[in-house]
A = this chain, B = another copy of it.
């Protein structure tokens, strides 16, 4: 946002900015006319809402339901339509793989080949445990193809990710996936002249994997699709002059934070683990992204009460975070995941901000309904970081 003027107005100081993201925080009203956030008992967030400013944000645009990638890129201040992150990248992030500039990341499925036809695109949904064993077998035999090294990681069930690392790779390759069963395997084809090598490497990988898996059943071949290289995205240090730390238990969110230049050390599973890391690193960074996953997971399960409980747990831990005295804190979600919908949604996401100069508006508690009355209004997700930087004194006056 405002990329053309940001370089003239961005400056630095010793303020600390904290972005606390409850994944899928937003909701819509259930049969009792309330959302999870409205139902939750959140005395600490409510006090912060009364002291600070509230509003609602839209992650990508009106009516658009964001995946995790666009949801976070928006919060990080990037236009999620301009900066799209391919599926292969997110798949690789999700299983904790590094993707570096030039690498080609790909989603893989184990599949079933019979009489030269793909008869099951998910190999009977083999269990994760078997997937790990098969990936270990592939990894042992496929280390390099031409001058390209090959990294493979197991995902859930029949899924895995591959990262090809080497010179001259391109994502302009067609999916090696017939999409429907009963068809023969479909080799990858280059969609541009510069992708000939990539298509050749991908097809060689499939050939080798199929030979290695020949005696397995039902997972005796692989399908590869969702080819992606890293988007060329300006990093936090360069764009915002911020040394940024991303704290997330789930690898996908560490991957997304790393994409924009945040440091992303591993951290344990609990909110306590995340807060412990936050305290430990507080002096070393300017900007802190803290990600809580489970609010989204419960929303996707349709578990209203579970989502309420996670919100309440985070609320209970909030004083520990506030003890660090961030100059600006924002609490929000990357999108809505209403438990009545059991999925990500397009609904506006509640947003709470407290800084040194935030307007104490009329929002009495942290909820969608109160946020609709807040002084921040309805804003694109990209605007949030601008408001944080402004309150922290990190944006100079524009124009004389």
Contact = CB atoms under 8 A, between A and B. Distances in A.
A348 B377 contact: yes
Contacts of A29: 359-360
A249 to B, nearest CB: 19
B372 A372 contact: no
A258 interface: no
Interface stretch (A191-199, A215-223, A378-386): A378-386
Interface residues of A, number: 68
A5 B377 CA distance: 26
Given A2-B61, A383-B63, A348 B375 contact: yes
Given A64-B2, A377-B372, A390-B65, A344 B397 contact: yes
Copies in the complex: 2
A245 interface: no
A90 B400 CA distance: 7
B56 A398 contact: no
Nearest to A374: B372
A388 B62 CA distance: 10
A43 interface: no
Contacts of A28: 357-359
Nearest to A338: B357
A87 interface: yes
A131 interface: no
Given A62-B387, A373-B373, A377-B378, A80 B399 contact: yes
B397 A66 contact: yes
Contacts of A385: 63
A63 B368 CA distance: 22
Contacts of A69: 399-400
B357 A368 contact: no
B395 A66 contact: no
A398 B73 CA distance: 12
Contact of A357 (B62, B87, B340, B357): B340
A3 to B, nearest CB: 10
Given A374-B372, A399-B69, A387 B346 contact: yes
Nearest to A344: B397
A385 B80 CA distance: 21
Contacts of A389: 63
B345 A357 contact: yes
Shortest beta-carbon contacts, A-B, top 9: A63-B386, A62-B383, A377-B378, A63-B390, A67-B399, A70-B399, A346-B390, A90-B400, A29-B360
Given A63-B389, A65-B390, A378-B379, 17 more contacts: A1-B62, A28-B357, A28-B359, A29-B360, A60-B399, A62-B383, A63-B383, A64-B398, A65-B396, A69-B399, A85-B399, A340-B357, A348-B375, A359-B368, A373-B373, A377-B377, A378-B378
Interface of A: 1-2, 4-5, 9, 28-29, 33, 35, 56, 60-70, 80-81, 84-85, 87, 90-91, 226, 338, 340-341, 343-348, 357-362, 368-369, 372-375, 377-380, 382-383, 385-390, 395-400
